[in-house]
Amino acid sequence: MHKRHKKIPSRIIDSPAYGTFGRPIPLVIQLFKKTITAMNSFQHFCPEHIGMLITITLAITIGLLILRRSSDKTADLTVLILSFITLIGETVQDIMLVSEGGEIMGFLPLHLCNLGIFVNLAASFTRGKVRSFFAEISLILIMPGSVGALLFPDWTYRPFWSYLPLLCFLTHSLLVFIPLIFLIKSKTHVSFRHFWYPYLFLLAVVPPIYLLNSRTCQNYMFLNYPPQNSPLEWIHDFTGDSLYIAGLVILITAILITEYAIYELAGRLAKNLR
C-alpha cells in the first residue's frame, strides 16, 4: 500500500525555497544560490554601483580642477591620450568578448557612446570651427548618453568586478570627462545657433545604422528596442513599437533644448559677472 503524499500547491513548488517535487531546500543552500546569482550579476544602484559613481564623480572633478589651470597644450595632449585610451579600452573589450564566443557583428562600434570615441579623436586632430563642431557634439550629444549609460548600465549581467563592467565604466567615464575638458578650456562655445549640429550628426549616422540593424538583427543605438530598466524602456512602454522612434526623437529634442538653454543662461550670467 503506497503512502499518500499531501499535494503541494504549484506556487510553492515554483518557490525558490522548494526543489523538485516540492521538497524543501535547506536555508543554507538557498543562501548559497542567492550569493552565486549575485556574484554573476549586479543591480542598478547597488552599493558597488553607487560607490563606482561616487568614485567617477570625484575623479572627474579633480581632473577638471587640475586641467583648468594647465596650459592649452597640456589639455590638448591630455584629450588626445585619453581619446586613445578610450579606443584601446573598447577594442580590448570587444576582442575579449569575441574570444569568449561572441559574434563580431554584435560588437561593432556603432552605439552612440562608441561613436563618441571617434568624435573625440576627430576633435583632437582638428582645429578651429571643425574642432568646435566635434567638441560640441561630444559635449551636447555624446556626454548625456554616456551619463545615462553610467547610471543605467546594460552590462549588469556580468560580475561587477569582472573585466567587462570595469572597462565599460572606464570608457564611459572618459566619454564624460573629455567633453568637459573641451568646455573648461573653451574649445567649444555652445550656442542656440548651433542647435542643428546634433541633428546633422544624427542624420549622418542613424539611417545607415538603422538599415544595418534591420538587415543583421542588431540593435545599435537601441533603435529597435530599449535596454532593460532604462529611461528608454519607459519611452517604449509609453509609445509602443510603432511610435518608439518618434518617442526617441522627442526625448532627444527635449534634452537638447534643456542643455542649450542651460549653457545659454550660464553664458549670459558669466558675462554679467565680468
Give 101-145 pLDDT, tens digit per residue: 888 999 999 999 999 999 999 999 999 999 999 999 999 999 999
Please, what is the average pLDDT of the chain?
Answer: 88
The long-range contacts involving 259-262, CB below 8 angstroms and separated by at least 24 positions, are 259/140, 259/144, 259/190, 260/140, 260/190, 260/191, 260/192, 260/195
Q: What are phi and psi of 172, to 5 degrees?
A: -70, -30
Q: Can you tell me which residue has the cell 524543501?
A: 24
Residue range 215-237, pLDDT digits in tens: 999 999 999 999 988 899 999 99
Is residue 5's pLDDT more than 90?
A: no
Q: Residue 12 has what pLDDT?
A: 40
CA pair distance 146, 158, nearest whole angstrom: 19
Span 151-180, mean pLDDT?
96
- Note the pLDDT of residue 40: 81
Q: How many Å apart are CA 134 and CA 29, to the nearest integer?
A: 54
pLDDT, position 36: 45
Query: What share of the chain in percent tops pLDDT 90?
Result: 77
The answer to which of 12-21, 101-110, 248-257 has the lowest mean pLDDT is 12-21
Between CA 238 and CA 15 the distance in angstroms is: 32
Whether the model pTM is above 0.75: yes
Cell numbers representing residue 102 in the block: 561572441
Q: Please give the Cα distance from 8 to 28 (Å, whole number).
A: 22
Rounded Cα distance between 157 and 40, Å, is: 7
Question: Could you tell me the residue ranges of all domains in the chain?
Answer: 44-264
Query: What is the longest distance spanned by two Cα atoms in the chain?
Result: 97
Question: What is the predicted pLDDT for the residue at 273?
Answer: 75
Structure confidence at residue 165 as a pLDDT band (50, 70, 90):
very high
Radius of gyration of the chain (CA): 23
Residue 39: pLDDT band with limits 50, 70, 90: low
